[in-house]
A and B are shown apart, each in its own frame.
Chain A
Amino acid sequence: MAERDVWILGASMTAFRRYPDKDLIDLGSEAAFGAMSDGGVSIHDMDVLSAGNLAEAASGVGQRLQKQIGQTGIPVYNVANACATGATALRCVIMSIASGEAEMGLAVGLEKMGKMGLLGASARSDKKVFTPDGRYGAVMSVEGRVGTTLMPGVFAQAGMEYAGANEGVGFEQFAKVAEKNHAHSTLNPLAQYQKQFSLDEVMNAEMMAYPNTLLMCCPTGDGAAAMVLVSEERLKALSDAQRSRAVKISASVMTSDPWTDSDQVQPDVNTLTRTAAKKAYEQSGVDPQDLDLVELHDCFATAELLHYDNLGLCAPGEAGKFIDERGPWRDGTIPVNVSGGLISKGHPLGATGIANLYEVATHLRGEAGARQIEGAAVGLTHVIGLGSACVVHVLEKATV
């Protein structure tokens, strides 16, 4: 995929939920030690550390983590890139290894969100004397007065644009995505929710921003995920046990959103995903129809449906048909989000972009227990951070 092939040697994640008695570094340490133990290596084997976190991004999270897991003087990258933070942190280690600067490295995505609420930051308080401010010369908060730019509404509008342009896509198809992901999470002990909901329950839950009901929105939460990555050369020198469980990273692609006529007012989550997917398929030589499982960025049910099409999992314009025919269910043609996805597994922002690789790698190793996709050999991961950043990885079961 690059100058030098890079492999996953160790992988781990904490369960996603709320941890009132643990701090951010507790969660990161647990995932980091888990990944190093899983790979049969220690902090002294690491040539680089990359830490992905949003909520405490200015605090030197990587160095704080080192002070608990081992200060060895290696380079540390602190990464923040919206919801693509974890995957971006992972790419820092991939690039370090691919360039030849490092042989082995540790990437950790960690986040403690607590109950910050789905709507994120609250609107700016109104001024007592109206004075134009900022690049739009706004005299007061425009949120809710001049449309919505909060996440539930943004992704609802993204979904409704697809529904308006394609036959057979509506509220019910979007709701079926959440029905599936909640069902999938019942097999995942690491998921924040592990509760099944009927389609009626999904559709009749509290409406947040039509067509997304509460059960079609990911929760906030806490958690961490970590990976030890290694160069192919170094991997060849490791034990049979380590080599046999290693997973190949066949593609690692990152994109941002190119200019479109509408993305100044409504983020375009499609173009950068399509570009990243195309490059990832080219880099890996994998065809979408070869995929045994996909973990994609279902922050809202509407988003998942768009990405069936963006990632080429269905024919153009046929995402509604794909979910209607149960294609993305775990027993379907291309299982999507068998972990439960962000909607049900949870979405601690910085951890998400590594947790999805953990999920795919675990299946490729044949170690996913009750939720194992039998015979899984090729998988794809996808995250989007609004603003926007997209990262796609293709992972393959291979021997070295």
Chain B
Amino acid sequence: MTKQIPIVDYLVLDDGTPHLVANESEESGALYFDRRNADAKSGKDGFSRRRLADTGVVRTFTIVHRAAPGVTVPYVSAVVDLDGGGVVKANILNVAADPDHVEVGMRVSLTTFIAGTDDEGTEAVAFAYEPIEGN
């Protein structure tokens, strides 16, 4: 079987279905995806891991037409408010990349795709969101 690795460590692939996890401040409840020194909201240390929901709502988006080398355009980048807490930025897949098909308030769910393969054949798995049918 092809070896896979998440593109970022807050995407979990080896514990049930792919999902995101965040560091949750024990003091304030603020959520973060990166390694933390302390909570930016309270200034206090102390975190626990929290699994985030796979569904949410598009808070805002753009359709990128000119991008860094190696990135296929156009593509949709969005900020998604996850159900139950957490805000994440990711691409929206499986939707036409034009303003007639993407809108603020659209409900989306987590999906994954292969973002690249290294010289040892390991696949980098990235996450994205796609419209929930019946939007």
Contact A147–B118 (Cβ < 8 Å): no
Q: Does A209 contact B (CB under 8 A)?
A: yes
A123-B69, A129-B120, A164-B59 known; A142+B8 contact, CB < 8 A: yes
A161 to B85, CA, bound (A): 18
CA distance A149 to B88 in the complex (A): 12
For B40, the chain A residues whose CB sits under 8 A away are: 259, 264
The answer for the CA separation of A135 and B37 in the assembled complex, in Å, is: 10
| CB <8 Å contact, B59 and A261 | no
Partner of A210, one of B35, B62, B119: B62
Answer whether residue A370 sits at the interface, using C-beta atoms and an 8 A cutoff: no
Residues 88-111 of chain B: 1 if any A CB is under 8 Å from the residue's CB, otherwise 0?
Answer: 111100000001000111000000
With beta carbons under 8 angstroms apart, the residue of A137, A208, A262 that contacts B9 is A137
Residues B124 and A140 in contact, CB atoms below 8 Å apart = yes
A160 touches B5 (CB 8 A): no
Chain A interface secondary structure, helix, strand, loop or mixed?
Answer: loop
CB-nearest residue of chain B to A118: B66
Q: Considering the chains assembled together, what is the distance between the CA atoms of A150 and B69 in angstroms?
A: 13
Interface residues on chain B, number (Cβ under 8 Å): 54
Instruction: Write out the residue numbers on chain B whose beta carbons fall within 8 Å of the beta carbon of A132.
Output: 5, 9
Instruction: Give the total of A residues in contact with B, Cβ under 8 Å.
Output: 49
* Residues of B contacting A150 in the complex (Cβ-Cβ under 8 angstroms): 64, 67-68
- Among residues of A, the one whose C-beta sits closest to the C-beta of B126 is A145
Q: With A136-B10, A265-B79 in contact, do A146 and B91 touch (Cβ < 8 Å)?
A: yes
- Give the B-binding residues of A (Cβ under 8 A): 118-119, 122-123, 126-130, 132, 135-150, 152-153, 156-158, 160-161, 163-165, 171, 206-211, 259, 261-262, 264-266
Q: Provide a sorted-by-A list of 8 A–B residue pairs whose CB atoms are within 8 angstroms.
A: A119-B66, A136-B34, A139-B7, A144-B64, A144-B75, A146-B8, A147-B91, A209-B77
Enumerate chain B interface residues (CB-CB to A < 8 A).
5-10, 30-35, 40-41, 59-72, 74-75, 77-79, 81, 85, 87-91, 99, 103-105, 115-116, 118-120, 122, 124, 126-128
Extra A-B contacts (12), CB below 8 Å, given A130-B118, A147-B90, A209-B62: A122-B68, A129-B122, A135-B35, A137-B35, A145-B71, A146-B89, A147-B79, A152-B62, A164-B59, A207-B65, A209-B65, A261-B30
